[in-house]
Amino acid sequence: MAIMFSLWFFFHLDVRLSWLLLIAVGTFAIFYFTISYILEHLIFRKIKLIYKFISDTKADPEKAKIKNIPTLSIDNVNEDVVDWAERKEKELEAMKLLETYRKNFVGNISHELKTPLFSIQGYLHTLLDGAIYEEGINIDYLRRAANNAERLGNIVDDLEQINKLEDESFVIEKSSFSVKELTKEVFGDLKKMAEKKKINLKYKDGAALQSVVLADKEAIRKVLSNLIVNAIKYGSENGEVVLSFYEVETKILIEVSDTGIGVEEKHLKHLFDRFYRVDGSRSRAEGGSGLGLSIVKHAIEAHGEKIFVRSTPNVGTTFGFTLPKDK
Ligand SMILES: Nc1ncnc2c1ncn2[C@@H]1O[C@H](COP(=O)(O)OP(=O)(O)OP(=O)(O)O)[C@@H](O)[C@H]1O
Ligand SMILES: [Mg+2]
C-alpha cells in the first residue's frame, strides 16, 4: 500500500522534483548503508571480539596470553586491553610461582618435622617394648628422644620467626647500641659450644670496636648468634671465629669469619634459601634444618641493609652485613 502510494506520488510530481527526490533517497540509502557497515565491521565487531576475549579469559585464565588478543584498530581500547592482559599474565605467573613455592615450603616443613618426630616415636616404642627396663639403654634413649623433641621445638621457633619477619606489618624496633657489647654477650652464650671444638672466639685488632649502631637489638642478636653458631658448627677444631667491624661512610660493616670447611662457589647463591644445606647429612647431624641463614637475611633486609658471603673451601667462610651507624 505504501509502495503504491509512493509510486503514485512520484509519477504525479514534477519531473525535476522527482529526480531530486530520487537522488535524495539514493544518497540517504548509500549514507545509511555505509555508516551501518562501518559500525558493524569496524566498531561493533571489534567490541564483540574484545568481549569474547574477556569472557574466554575469565573462564580460562590460561587464555590471558597476549597472542590471543584480537587485533584491534581502535587504538585506546587496544592499549587498555593489552595493558590489562599483560597485568593478568604477570599476576598469573606470580600466582603460579607462589603456588610452587608454597608446595615446596609445605613439603620441606613436613620433611623436616618428620625426621625428629619419627626418631622420638622410634625411641619411645623401643622403650615401651621392653628397653625401659634395660639399664644403660633406657636413659640413653630417653635423652635422644628429648634431644629430638628439642630439635622439633627449634624448627617450629625458626618457622615462627620467619613468619614474623615476612609479615608486612612487621616493624623493627630501633635503638642505639654498641655492636661490640652485643657480640660480647653472644660470645658468652656460645663459649661452651666453642670450647668443645677448641675454637677461639675473638675480635679483629684495630677494628672499629666502639661502633654504635641504630638497629633492632634483639633481631641483630639472633643474626650474630646464627652466624657465630654456623662458624663454630662448620669450623675446624682448634680454629678461630673472628668478629670484625669497619666504618664505611654512614654504615658499620660487621664480618664473622671462620677457619672451617668453607663452601664451594656453586652453593654460595643458595645459602640464604630456606632449608638449603650444602651437605644435608652433616648439617642434620649438627642439628640444623637450613633455616638459620634465611632468618638472618630477612632480619638484615628488614633494616634495609645487605648481607653477603665469601668463602674458600677448606680455608674458611666470611659472612658480612651492614647496619646504620648511630650519629
Ligand atoms: N660458616 C659456614 N661454613 C660453611 N658452611 C656454612 C657456614 N654457614 C652455613 N653454611 C652452610 O649453609 C647451610 C645453611 O645454613 P643455615 O644456617 O641456614 O642452616 P643450618 O645451619 O644447616 O641449620 P639451622 O637452621 O639450625 O641454622 C648449612 O647447612 C651449611 O651447609
Ligand atoms: Mg645455621
> pLDDT digits over 71-127, tens only?
545 556 667 778 888 898 999 999 998 888 888 888 888 888 998 999 999 999 999
- Is 20 part of a structural domain of the chain? yes
169 grid coordinates: 606489618
CA of 155 to the centre of ligand 1 (A): 14
Q: Which ligand minimizes its atom distance to the CA of 264?
A: 1
- Is 85 part of a structural domain of the chain? no
291 close to ligand 1 (CB < 6 Angstrom): yes
For the stretch 53-63, pLDDT in tens is 777 766 776 65
Same domain? 158 vs 243: no
Same domain? 8 vs 47: yes
- Report residue 26's pLDDT band, with 50, 70 and 90 as the boundaries: confident
Q: Using the atom order of ligand 1, give the atom closest to the CA of residue 316.
A: 3
CA of 211 to the centre of ligand 2 (A): 26
Same domain? 240 vs 307: yes
**Residue whose C-alpha cell is 677457619:** 259
271 close to ligand 1 (CB < 6 Angstrom): yes
166-194 mean pLDDT: 92
- Is 91 part of a structural domain of the chain? no
CA of 123 to the centre of ligand 2 (A): 26
Say if residue 6's pLDDT is above 80: no
Give the Cβ contact number of residue 148 at 10 Å: 20
Same domain? 127 vs 9: no
288 close to ligand 1 (CB < 6 Angstrom): yes
- Is 100 part of a structural domain of the chain? no
Q: 119 is in which domain, residue-wise? A: 106-166
Atom 8, ligand 1: residue with shortest CA distance = 230
CATH number for 200: 3.30.565.10
CA of 313 to the centre of ligand 2 (A): 18
268-296 mean pLDDT: 84
CATH number for 156: 1.10.287.130
Same domain? 181 vs 257: yes
Same domain? 276 vs 155: no
Same domain? 183 vs 239: yes
Beta carbons of 258 and 241 less than 8 angstroms apart: yes
Distance (Å, whole) CA 1 – CA 6: 9
Same domain? 16 vs 135: no
230 close to ligand 1 (CB < 6 Angstrom): yes
Ion ligand 2: protein residues whose beta carbon lies under 5 Å: 230, 292
Distance (Å, whole) CA 282 – CA 226: 17
CA of 294 to the centre of ligand 1 (A): 10
Domain total of the chain: 3
- Report residue 208's pLDDT band, with 50, 70 and 90 as the boundaries: confident
- Report residue 43's pLDDT band, with 50, 70 and 90 as the boundaries: confident
DSSP string for residues in 15-51: HHHHHHHHHHHHHHHHHHHHHHHIIIIIIIHHHHHHH
